[in-house]
Chain A
């Protein structure tokens, strides 16, 4: 079946440093979504990318969808302690809503 892997599994940065997580799917995706899960919370939607090569920005967050629609990345510029949590990518295939989540990257930010 479809597999979605993320690297790194965990990253610890000091506040102000940049952070990037990479997402790779074993199959071509129709779209990709990104979610953030705070400790003890549930996943919260951040953004959806649909087009090949698409880049979207949300303040300090930059999301990119690969040309082959099999990979994606999330980059955070100048991290803050509020960025702490686990970031998941999740992909849809075909026309169905079969949302498959990646393995996640846990981000820890210290002062």
Chain B
């Protein structure tokens, strides 16, 4: 069984530029999470999907961040425009309801 796939693994962009991350969850997992992780800290939830519905996006900075989950499968997370403080690792995870979360390798974003 394939795991959670994220791309790209690394991204370096200049501030004010847009950036997008892609996630393909494990087949059959209805829950998809996007987390942000800063160095030395725990993952912080940005948005959670149950199938195609965003059920928890209270921590998503909606002025610059957007996300979608097409047909309840793949998901994209976009930042526009990026700021220096957005530099972090963006983790995607999927699970069955209240089951163990499987994480992708993450995308390390550097904004310069």
A82 lies within 8 A of chain B by Cβ: no
Distance between Cα atoms of A45 and B91 in the complex (Å): 14
Residues of A within 8 A of B56 (CB): 96, 98
B: number of interface residues (CB 8 Å): 27
Number of contacting residues on A, CB 8 A? 25
Please determine whether A43 and B44 come into contact, CB atoms closer than 8 angstroms.
no
Return chain A residues, CB-CB under 8 Å to B43.
Answer: 43, 88, 101
Query: Chain A contacts of B99 at CB under 8 A?
Result: 48, 97
Nearest-CB residue, chain A, relative to B104: A42
Query: With an 8 A cutoff between CB atoms, is A31 at the interface?
Result: yes
Q: Give the nearest-CB partner of A90 in chain B.
A: B101
Q: Is the CB of B100 within 8 A of A48?
A: yes
Q: Which residue on A lies nearest to B31, using beta carbons?
A: A97
Question: In the complex, what's the smallest C-beta–C-beta distance from B34 to chain A, in angstroms?
Answer: 12
Q: List 16 A-B contacts (CB under 8 A).
A: A1-B58, A30-B98, A31-B98, A42-B91, A42-B103, A43-B43, A48-B100, A88-B42, A95-B98, A96-B55, A97-B95, A98-B45, A99-B33, A101-B43, A101-B45, A104-B40
Residues of chain B touching chain A, judged by Cβ–Cβ distance below 8 Å, are 31, 33, 35, 40-45, 48, 50, 55-56, 58, 91, 93, 95, 97-106
